[in-house]
Amino acid sequence: MVLKNIFKRDDKVKFSKNDTKVSILGKGVSGSVELYQSKSNPEFKYAVKIYHSRESYENKKDYKVRILHEYNIISQISHPNIIRAYDYDVSLSGSIIKVFLEAGSSNLFQLLKPPVDINEMLDIWKQIVSGVSYLHHENVCHRDLKLENIVFNSSHSQIKIIDFATAQKLTNDNSESVGLVGSEKYASPEMYTSIKYDGKLADVWSLGIILYYLLVRKLPWSSATWNNPEYQQYSSSSNRTAIFDNEYPPSLVQITSQILEPNPQLRVNCGDIQKFIEQISNKL
């Protein structure tokens, strides 16, 4: 396959070297993200993810394929709760790559403050589930769902899922996920114990951790491993709803325990969660 045909660009959005850098949104292991404002259309702001230069062992082609893995996945999908990828730019030397993305604002970990409004939290979670359900329908598993990777859009009116660096496109020949990736606090137990696992069901587990935090404002455990006392107590208990106090709606407590089912073969899927959301939306 010719490399230039792998990646899909959004030709409707234009960028200029004269656009204004507004701020630095964040820095991480893979690079930094900056917020820009269009000079020709000041109302339009966008994010630029600037990746670190290629490793000494990489050639230009391998570096481009590795870095643009995330762009390639996002550019092939379209959903209101998933961040858009507009374009990318490769330096003349081939050592630096920039990806142009839809601008977001603060992430959920930064924004969530007490008190807890259950209806508001459920609305946020519904949007996250909607985005993940779409990904799974497109045979994509995210594998790093966490509060830090859920942002509001620039107008704070809509939730967006970001950071697809460890996402996987599933195929008939490659239908399972491999390896412990993402964040330990949100990783499913089978990611620790199995060489291969169902990436979609691992995403579902992460959705349960997110829902728990939205309601309780803390994470249930630091890792879903047997040497973690909180998780060990939960997984061996006959009453897994006990991680909640009595103040929470029983229906939410019940679905959370079904999502946080240690055995992936017994765990509910995104379709089950969406049916649950439809049933309770008018009851809370």
Which residues on neighbouring strands pair with residue 31, listed in sequence order? 51
Task: Choose among 251, 213, 256, 214: nearest CA to 234.
Answer: 256
Helix (H, G, I), strand (E, B) or coil at 223: coil
Residues 6+ away with beta carbon under 8 Å from 199:
141, 143, 168, 170, 176, 177
Known binding residue 64? Answer is no
DSSP annotation string for 180-222 = --S-GGG--HHHHH-SEE-HHHHHHHHHHHHHHHHHHSS-S-S
Which residues have a catalytic role annotated?
A: 144
- Can you tell me the distance from the alpha carbon of 189 to that of 191, in angstroms, rounded to the nearest whole number? 5
- Can you tell me the distance from the alpha carbon of 154 to that of 106, in angstroms, rounded to the nearest whole number? 9
- Can you tell me the distance from the alpha carbon of 142 to that of 149, in angstroms, rounded to the nearest whole number? 10
Helix (H, G, I), strand (E, B) or coil at 20: strand
Residues annotated within a binding site: 49
Residues annotated within a binding site for ATP: 49
